[in-house]
Every structure is written in structure tokens, then in C-alpha cells.
Homo-oligomer: A and B are copies of this chain.
Amino acid sequence: MDRIGDLSLFLRVLDLGSISAAARSLDLSVAVASQRLKRLERELGVRLLHRTTRQLHATPEGMQLAEQGRALVEDLESLTGGLRQSATEVSGTLRVTMSAAFGSQYVSPLLPEFLGLHPRVKLSVNLDDQIVDLVGSGFDLGIRVGEMGDSSLVARRLASNRRVLCASPAYLQTHGLPRTPADLARHDCLLLVGSQGRQDVWHFTDRKGRDIAQRVQGRFESNQGALLRDAVVAGLGIAMHSLWHVHEQLRSGRLQLLLPDYPIHATGIYAVMPQRRLVPPRVRAFIDFLAGRFGDHPPWEC
């Protein structure tokens, strides 16, 4: 066996559970992937995959090769990556998944420029807030808003993510202006329902830096930030939003900032990627590009 790429392909096939998906993710035609797997099996003289058109599973030999081979491929990548002084060409298909609202609002306008900068990259953009398993879905990169909990991924902070409490002037005229977090208990609060459940405890910081937790409730909730924003603009209640998300509305006066003296713990906007030793140049280029655009003065900060 000479080609380590065949081994990489095999590993990718196992990760994605499909020859077609692996081929796409490596910018190969499906036929090539198929015949290279066959070559690998022929050279080893062993059947690695039991395959039907609809499902794959590894033979015992395949399992063994996968287990031991993965370490090998990673070692080789780290070895060559350590030596290689300058990255190679920025090319291939960049597969990125991003938070829907943030992506369409702030990333999308930048994409033409990025494509112009790197003529040999193709982009495949997935807008979705749910996808967690980057490697299992074959993405190079995810762009996520909020806390980074997952440890199997490496994250790079692209920008800070200040969150604010806001409501429409109409709502405030009717219901009054809250002065402290405790006041929120008597207001209609609009809640985001995430994958971890309803987020009905809001955290603030008082003047002395102490954490204040306030349970809130209301008559409207959604898993879509955009719906929440429409609701708060319509005067349905008070919402906690990322600054970038309501930046426009605050500037135009359709929304109003609340409790400015009780700042909310800031999180970040992150680029996350599978923990690989060797980051493809196109991924690095994209992250650097975004970081350069957002870094010091994101468009949503005053």
C-alpha cells in the first residue's frame, strides 16, 4: 500500500457512512472513490466493507484498519504539517454550517468577496442552528453563537457577542419600564427555546460584579430567533437578544435598550472545527477572513 490517501478516504467513508458522501467531502467523483476503495481492498487482499447500495458496514478487518489507521493518518498529518512551512493553495470545497440568523445577516454579504479573493474555492453553505456533529456530517467548519461547550471541537473566537435586554416603546408605555431584574417577573418575557430546553432564567451582573439570576415567563416562545425578534418589535414583550440580532432595530428606535446598568455576561461568536491536526488552507483562509471583518469592530457594535 502506497497511497495514504486511500486510507484517508476509507476512514472518511466510515465516518460519513457512505461512499458518495465521502467522495463529495473530498472533492472526488463518486466513481473514483468507489474504485479507490476497491484498489485498497485488492492491495490488501482483504474485504474491508460489506456494502449494499443503501448501507455500509466495516468487516472485522475494516474495523482493525480503521482503528489503527486513523492514528497513523493523524501522525502523518501532524508530522508533515509540522514541517510544511507555507500552506499550500487555497482550493477545494469549503463546507460550512452556520447559525441561520447570523449567517444570513452578517456572513452572507461577505461571501462574494471571499470567493473573489480565492478563485479556486467552492462554497457549500448550510444554514441551520441544530447541527452539532460537524465531523459526522462532513462539514469543514461551523459558525456558532454562544457558549462553546463541546470538547471534541476546537473553537476560535471570531467576535464578542454582547447580549441585551430590549422591548418596543409601545410595550414599555403600556407595561412600564423595568428598573431591576426583579421587575422582569411582572413582565411578558419572550423566551428562546433551544436544544437544551427553554431558557427561562436570565442572568445579569450588578454593579458590584455579582451574578443575579431571574426566572422569567411570558406568553410567547420560539426556537427561531427571528420570530422572537418580530414579536418583540410588535410589542409582545421583553426579550433578551444578541446585540447583532437587534442592532438595526435599536438604532432606528423601534426597540429600546433596557436595564443598561445590569450588563449580561458576554459570550462569543465562534468558528468551530473538527479536531484535526492539519487544517485545510481553505478553512484557515475563511476563518482569517471572517475574523478580519468582525474582529475589532463588528458592524453591530456602535
Number of copies: 2
Q: What is the minimal beta-carbon distance from A176 to any residue of chain B, in angstroms? A: 66
Q: What is the minimal beta-carbon distance from A11 to any residue of chain B, in angstroms? A: 13
B83 x A65 contact (CB < 8 A):
yes
Nearest to A75 among chain B residues (CB) is B72
**A79 CA / B70 CA spacing, docked (Å):** 11
Q: Taking A72-B75, A86-B45 as contacts, is the C-beta distance between A80 and B5 under 8 angstroms? A: no
A3 x B1 contact (CB < 8 A):
no
Residues of B contacting A43 in the complex (Cβ-Cβ under 8 angstroms): 80, 88
Q: Taking A2-B4, A3-B3 as contacts, is the C-beta distance between A79 and B83 under 8 angstroms? A: no
Interface assignment of A68: CB less than 8 Å from any CB of chain B: yes
Nearest to A79 among chain B residues (CB) is B68
Interface assignment of A213: CB less than 8 Å from any CB of chain B: no
Q: What is the minimal beta-carbon distance from A33 to any residue of chain B, in angstroms? A: 15
Residues of B contacting A46 in the complex (Cβ-Cβ under 8 angstroms): 83-85
**A82 CA / B44 CA spacing, docked (Å):** 9
Q: Which of A73-99 contact B (CB under 8 A)?
A: 75-76, 79-80, 82-86, 88
Interface assignment of A61: CB less than 8 Å from any CB of chain B: yes
Interface assignment of A64: CB less than 8 Å from any CB of chain B: yes
Interface assignment of A69: CB less than 8 Å from any CB of chain B: yes
Q: Which of A13-42 contact B (CB under 8 A)?
A: none
**A288 CA / B69 CA spacing, docked (Å):** 31
Partner of A80, one of B1, B86, B88: B1
Q: What is the minimal beta-carbon distance from A65 to any residue of chain B, in angstroms? A: 6
Residues of B contacting A72 in the complex (Cβ-Cβ under 8 angstroms): 72, 75-76, 79
The 10 closest A-B pairs by CB, nearest first: A2-B5, A1-B80, A45-B85, A68-B79, A44-B83, A45-B86, A46-B83, A4-B4, A44-B84, A45-B84
